Amino acid sequence: YEPDTGSPVRVNQVGYLTEGPKRGTFVTEATEAQTWTLSDAAGTEVATGDTTPLGVDPSSEQHVHGFDFGEVSTPGEGYTVTIGEETSEPFAIGDDLYAELRSDALAYFYHNRSGIEIDAELVGEEYARPAGHVNAAPNQGDDGVPCWQDGCDYTLDAAGGWYDAGDHGKYVVNGGIAVAQLLSSYERTLTTEGADGAPLGDGALAVPERGNGVPDILDEARWQLEFLLSMRVPAGEELAGMAHHKLHDAAWTALPTLPHEDDQPRELHPVSTAATLNVAAAAAQGARLFEEHDPAFAAELLAAAESSYAAAVANPELLADPNDGVGGGAYSDAKLTDEFYWAAAELFVTTGADEYRAAVLGSELHGDTEALFPAGGFSWGETAALGGLSLATVPNALTEAELAQVRGTVTEAADGLVELAGGEAYGVPLGVDSYVWGSNSQVLNNMVVLATAHDLTGESAYRDAVLGGLDYLLGRNPLNLSYVTGYGERDAHNQHHRFWANQLDPSLPNPAPGSVAGGPNSELQDPIAEDLLVGCAPAMCYVDHIESYATNEITINWNAPLAWIASYADDLGGG
Ligand code: 9MR
């Protein structure tokens, strides 16, 4: 299998901010510098210069040169770079490149809501669909899901929430990080100068709750927060206060299957400490953000956060079974110091209480830059960074010296990522060893760390590294492919999804614009990858095929950092 990588001249196919860095990559066996030429839409040459030979890129095993046209700052569409006989895909230079991506990346969440009809007026006919898992045949409704654990005989009303990904499972651990990153995207607008809350505000997004006086991004987050609360063991039962790890089908369904067509029994899988801490963390963060808009809901969230945290402390080692992967993902995680840190940090930021202060300051992770911000990126299984970022950015009761230390870990991590990206031929803040399942989200989460460092310090090197990450995701990469549907001339559009399955059934749509593919995964963990990608260099281990779930799925916890970053980048351009 030879991927079609198009032109060897690789650029961000969306474009470059007027005052931002402008870098590209050229794949060539030539060892001497080559001349590049930037032309505008009319074909007029506007700049020229020499490439820099960089040798072999270990991530892609391609021979590459870099080029840089950062001196050009004339806005326009349809620019191209030509080197010899080869011309890049067209791109823009401008300030308003990411406004649409911000709302599209957020629309992903409404599209993937469970338990509610997806309204054509909000998403268009093509993407409209009936409510899923609402107890209308052949569905089993999520309003009465039987507990699936030895010794429990209750059912939970766990309707609502977001579907995880291409499947119809609803998982608390990646649900928690996803909603937390939406909340953080909003919270950033409250705590950061130059961050604009209006594009996330009431009436700004296509959600059914728009016009209710509450910022739309909080409406979207609430849909998931309520689901997370509903996954808790009821009072009076053994393990009350703990959260069930996940709810999903008894067996995997075929592709395509629309949510309302799913005929599988729904099952509530055992509780876990990780899930419980996700509820605690996300609910604690939600509590402070809903205080202004709905004090009763805020109080409910805070009470749930505190009791969840207490339940997790009392049951610190209830691990999800790594082999519980039939009909849904396992999402198992054997190391929970990071979840404890995250939950304690959010509770501390919200309440200032001594108990949580002690848990934060006493954690072995506190002050440990590498443990908080692993170079391979934070993720659903490595969540301490979320707590660290909240402590660093949201006003809280740390002393000045403690705050300076926390902020120091963010900038130290970001310094490492700037260096890492600077050594990558494609400018990506991800090392050759980190192309795992969902690598694009690892890139995005590293970009969140960099962007936060930029918010804290104003240092342009951090901003430039974030923009370099966007360049990578939007086409300046070994496959010359934008991993975000609807963005760039050559975009991923066959991601693994049971409704957005146009590749299998032309009457169904492709993924909605603004859906980010998981990305290159060097482990080859699905049959398509095993068949097509043997021997691939890490950053090449990707195929835009609907059945390649290990390289090409889409999920809430990958689109959430995309939304966060699009929001940051749109703010950079001035809105
Ligand atoms: O994102 C998850 C990734 O980190 C794991 O390595 C992988 C295998 O366990 O599972 C991924 O999550 C998938 C989940 O298990 C099932 N629904 C789709 C998720 C994204 O591919």
Read off the pLDDT of residues 55-83 as tens digits, 9 standing for 90 and up.
999 999 999 999 999 999 999 999 999 99
Residue 473 banded pLDDT, cuts 50, 70, 90: very high
Residue 259 lies in a domain: yes
Residue 575 in this model has a pLDDT that exceeds 60: no
Distance CA 356, CA 49 (A): 56
What is residue 518's three-state secondary structure?
Answer: coil
Average pLDDT on 184-200 reads 97
Q: What is the pLDDT of residues 223-259, one digit of tens each?
A: 999 999 999 999 999 999 999 999 999 999 999 999 9
CB 388 within 8 A of CB 409: yes
Report the atom number in ligand 1 closest to the C-alpha of 557: 1
Residue 14 in this model has a pLDDT that exceeds 90: yes
**Predicted local confidence at residue 149, as pLDDT:** 74
User: What value, to the nearest 5°, has the Cα angle with vertex 519 and ends 110 and 522?
Assistant: 145
Instruction: Detail the DSSP E strand segments found in 225-332.
Output: 243-244, 246-249, 266-268, 271-272
Distance CA 539, CA 519 (A): 8
Average pLDDT on 464-485 reads 98
- Residue pointed to by tokens 């006003």: 395
Distances (CA, A) of 194 to 407, 463, 575: 19, 14, 10
* Alpha-helical runs (H) found in 426-523: 439-457, 460-473
**CATH (domain of 302):** 1.50.10.10
**Predicted local confidence at residue 150, as pLDDT:** 73
Tokens matching residue 461: 């090197």
Q: Comparing C-alpha atoms, which of 470, 476, 562, 444 is closest to residue 512?
A: 562
Residue 424 lies in a domain: no
Contacts for 374 with CB less than 8 Å, ≥ 6 apart: 382, 385
Average pLDDT on 163-167 reads 98
Residue 433 lies in a domain: no
In the reported structure, the alpha carbon of residue 123 is separated from the centroid of ligand 1 by a whole-number distance in angstroms of: 27
Question: Which residue range forms the structural domain that includes residue 152?
Answer: 116-334
Tokens matching residue 462: 């951090």
What is residue 556's three-state secondary structure?
Answer: helix
Distance CA 104, CA 144 (A): 32
Cβ(376) to ligand 1 under 6 A? Answer: no
Cβ(182) to ligand 1 under 6 A? Answer: no
DSSP run (H or E) holding 50: strand 45-50
Residue 132 banded pLDDT, cuts 50, 70, 90: very high
Tokens matching residue 365: 């992770």
Residue 348 lies in a domain: no
Residue 320 lies in a domain: yes
Contacts for 200 with CB less than 8 Å, ≥ 6 apart: 106, 185, 186, 189, 215, 216, 217, 567
Q: What is the pLDDT of residues 279-294, one digit of tens each?
A: 999 999 999 999 999 9
Cβ atoms within 10 A of the Cβ of 131, count?
A: 18
Average pLDDT on 39-47 reads 98
Q: How far is CA 291 from the centre of its chain?
A: 26
Q: How far is CA 178 from the centre of its chain?
A: 7
Average pLDDT on 334-361 reads 98
**Predicted local confidence at residue 259, as pLDDT:** 98
Cβ(553) to ligand 1 under 6 A? Answer: yes
Instruction: Report how many domains make up the chain.
Output: 1
Average pLDDT on 420-436 reads 98
Distances (CA, A) of 487 to 90, 92, 238, 269, 383: 12, 12, 49, 38, 29
**Predicted local confidence at residue 365, as pLDDT:** 98
Give the closest residue (by CA) to ligand 1 atom 19.
165
Amino acid letter, residue 154: Y
Distances (CA, A) of 333 to 322, 437, 499: 8, 15, 29
Residue 35 in this model has a pLDDT that exceeds 60: yes
User: What value, to the nearest 5°, has the Cα angle with vertex 326 and ends 323 and 328?
Assistant: 100
- Residue pointed to by tokens 């030979």: 53
Residue 566 in this model has a pLDDT that exceeds 50: yes
Cβ(330) to ligand 1 under 6 A? Answer: yes
Average pLDDT on 192-204 reads 96
Residue 182 lies in a domain: yes
- Residue pointed to by tokens 């499972």: 169
Q: How far is CA 395 from the centre of its chain?
A: 24
Report the atom number in ligand 1 closest to the C-alpha of 438: 1
Contacts for 508 with CB less than 8 Å, ≥ 6 apart: 256, 499, 500, 501, 502
**Predicted local confidence at residue 148, as pLDDT:** 81
Residue 530 banded pLDDT, cuts 50, 70, 90: very high
Amino acid letter, residue 440: N
In the reported structure, the alpha carbon of residue 268 is separated from the centroid of ligand 1 by a whole-number distance in angstroms of: 18
In the reported structure, the alpha carbon of residue 331 is separated from the centroid of ligand 1 by a whole-number distance in angstroms of: 7
Report the atom number in ligand 1 closest to the C-alpha of 550: 21
Residue 265 lies in a domain: yes
Rounded to 5 degrees, φ, ψ at 46 are -115, -20
Residue 128 lies in a domain: yes
Average pLDDT on 380-396 reads 98
Cβ(175) to ligand 1 under 6 A? Answer: no
* Alpha-helical runs (H) found in 125-230: 172-191, 216-230
**Predicted local confidence at residue 491, as pLDDT:** 98
